[in-house]
Amino acid sequence: MYWLYFVVQMDNVNETPSDFIDGSLFYAANTESKISFDSVANGHCGSWGNLFEFPIGPARVAPTQHLINLISGVLVGPYYAVAQAFLTSLLRNMLGTGTLLAFPGSMIGAFCVGYCYRWFKNLLAAALGELVGTGILGALVAYPLAALFLGTTGALWVFIPSFFLSALVGVIVGYVLLRALWPVLKARFAR
């Protein structure tokens, strides 16, 4: 959890409300801070993902990705969260620990987390955004990709439970972590 410590220690936050950018918790953090956060999150997800992945149906599920998606979507907003999800999926594929199905699930989930947190300013809404984004929408988008590129001939109902279970495990852990660190994060970065 060293990268969460890194988040709390960031000192380059400008406190003026006119700098509100994308509705994330780091509302005034500069671009370099958000990119740095994404880089540290990618490194940890790439290393932790190997330890906590397991096959369910046609996909290798990685709850660590969903944990990082939730935290990233809340802390840096939807756009940087999608970039983080793309780079982590790319890293997982390059290391041989993921499949092409990692791209639609993680990127759609990260986008939904960022926008749900932006609209509702609620951790539970962000967690539900990851479950719906990855568990349902990501699975629906992954099905034709799996049929086209991986030659998978399973039914659609095979994808939704595997994506949803993976997202559920990651969201539970991510929600518990964010809820535990929430007072410190709000005091440090909120208006």
Residue 57 has a CB neighbour count (10 Å cut-off) of 17
Distance CA 101, CA 83 (A): 16
Sign, CA torsion 140/158/62/186: positive
In 3D, which of 58, 61, 85 has the Cα closest to residue 168?
61
Strand partners, 170: none
- Give which of 11, 144, 149, 130 is closest to 82, Cα–Cα: 130
For 33-58, what is each residue's pLDDT tens digit? 777 777 777 777 777 776 777 776 66
Where do the domains of the chain lie, and which CATH numbers do they carry? 33-50+58-189 (1.10.1760.20)
State the pLDDT at residue 2: 45
Two tokens, residue 162: 């595997």
**pLDDT tens digits, one per residue of 110-167:** 999 999 999 998 999 999 999 999 989 998 998 888 888 877 776 677 788 888 988 9
CA distances from 155 to 101, 110, 159 (A): 15, 25, 8
